[in-house]
């Protein structure tokens, strides 16, 4: 099927690894399901995947141009309703078997995954499922070539520490978007420390965990004040951010 898209969603559709992991996750819930919500449906490709397995799919998209694309792409599917709305303003009336929400980004800082799910999962059946199930976030000490906040998209940097999983989020649980933690990272190389690398791993199902992809959670590189470190040094950093409010909320301090 050929999809009408915006330029951004065209790039999303070209990331075949991203599409594949969501397709495989949706296939795991392929038996006699009644209702699915696709929150932030974009061009509608995930709703298209859902269409074979659900009696009813409600697909919500806030952006008008993107909504028009999804509506056109899904017009022949009688079991899909596409709605132009902000999920946070939508009046949910029925409980769903499945919620699909791909408002994902590194550490869930920039996109509205957490605020949206905190509202929508009240309308998930007790035995219902969310795709993805959650995320795991890790941190590493790095030497950055570019000393400003940016994503790892073919840039140069040097890893200076082991990887530390600092947070695991299950989307079915109650989630406080105001996040704060103390990182204790062990240096594995000597060098000039001037940044943190944050990596997010996405747990789609019990059987599928996806690492970063071009259009799914590229690692985030956060500048720190410069300091020289040696092998086996332990560096403590306080990391704070508010999920769903943007990368401007990130704060870091040495302890």
Q: What is the CATH number of the domain that holds 65?
A: 3.40.50.150
Q: Same structural domain for residues 96 and 141?
A: no
Number of domains in the chain: 2
pLDDT tens string 176-205: 999 999 999 999 999 999 999 999 999 999
Q: Same structural domain for residues 86 and 154?
A: no
Query: With contact defined as beta carbons under 8 Å apart, do 90 and 83 qualify?
Result: yes
Q: Same structural domain for residues 93 and 11?
A: yes
Q: Same structural domain for residues 142 and 242?
A: yes
Q: Same structural domain for residues 157 and 238?
A: yes
pLDDT tens string 125-177: 999 999 999 999 999 999 999 999 999 988 899 999 999 999 999 999 999 99
Query: With contact defined as beta carbons under 8 Å apart, do 73 and 48 qualify?
Result: yes
Q: Same structural domain for residues 70 and 152?
A: no
Give me the pLDDT at residue 28, please.
Answer: 87
Distance between CA 253 and CA 246 in Å, rounded? 19
Percent of the chain with pLDDT over 70: 99
Does residue 118 lie within any of the structural domains?
no
The DSSP output letter for 213 is B
Give strand pairing partners of 134: 170, 203
Q: Same structural domain for residues 81 and 177?
A: no
Give me the pLDDT at residue 8, please.
Answer: 76
Does residue 119 lie within any of the structural domains?
no
Give me the pLDDT at residue 214, please.
Answer: 78
Residue by residue, what is the 3-state secondary structure of 159-189?
ECECCEEEEEEECCCCCCCEEEEEEEEEECC
CATH code for the domain in which residue 203 is found: 2.70.160.11
Give me the pLDDT at residue 11, please.
Answer: 76
Contacts of range 78-86, beta carbons closer than 8 Å, 24 or more positions apart: 79/51, 79/54, 79/55, 80/44, 80/47, 80/50, 80/51, 81/56, 81/57, 82/41, 82/44, 82/47, 83/58, 83/59, 85/60, 85/61, 86/62
Does residue 1 lie within any of the structural domains?
no
Distance between CA 95 and CA 208 in Å, rounded? 25
pLDDT tens string 99-111: 999 999 999 999 9
Give me the pLDDT at residue 213, please.
Answer: 86
Q: Same structural domain for residues 139 and 248?
A: yes
Q: Same structural domain for residues 139 and 76?
A: no
Give me the pLDDT at residue 64, please.
Answer: 96
Does residue 111 lie within any of the structural domains?
no
Give me the pLDDT at residue 52, please.
Answer: 92
Q: Same structural domain for residues 212 and 144?
A: yes
Domain that holds residue 148: 135-254
Q: Same structural domain for residues 164 and 236?
A: yes
Does residue 109 lie within any of the structural domains?
no
pLDDT tens string 8-55: 777 777 778 889 999 999 998 766 789 999 999 999 999 999 999 999
Q: Of the candidates 102, 126, 160, which is a domain's last residue? A: 102
């Amino acid at each position: 099927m050929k999809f009408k898209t915006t330029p951004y969603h065209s790039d999303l559709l070209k990331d075949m690894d991203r599409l594949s992991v969501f397709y495989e996750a949706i296939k795991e819930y392929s038996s006699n399901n009644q209702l699915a919500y696709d929150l932030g449906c974009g061009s509608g490709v995930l709703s298209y995947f859902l269409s074979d397995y659900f009696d009813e799919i409600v697909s919500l998209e806030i952006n008008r141009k993107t909504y028009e694309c999804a509506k056109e792409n899904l017009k022949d599917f009688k079991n899909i309703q596409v709605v132009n709305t902000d999920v946070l303003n939508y009046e949910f009336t029925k409980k769903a078997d499945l919620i699909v929400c791909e408002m994902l980004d590194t550490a869930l800082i920039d996109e509205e995954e957490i605020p949206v799910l905190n509202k929508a999962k009240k309308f998930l059946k007790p035995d219902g499922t969310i795709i993805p199930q959650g995320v795991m976030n890790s941190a590493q000490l790095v030497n950055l070539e570019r000393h400003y906040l940016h994503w790892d998209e073919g840039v140069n940097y040097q890893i200076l520490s082991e990887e530390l999983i600092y947070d695991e989020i299950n989307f079915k649980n109650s989630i406080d978007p105001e996040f704060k933690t103390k990182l204790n990272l062990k240096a594995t190389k000597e060098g000039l420390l001037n940044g943190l690398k944050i990596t997010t791993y996405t747990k789609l199902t019990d059987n599928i965990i996806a690492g970063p992809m071009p259009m799914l959670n590229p690692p985030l590189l956060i500048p720190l004040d410069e300091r020289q470190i040696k092998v086996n040094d332990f560096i403590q950093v306080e990391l704070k951010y508010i999920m769903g409010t943007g990368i401007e909320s990130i704060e870091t301090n040495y302890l």
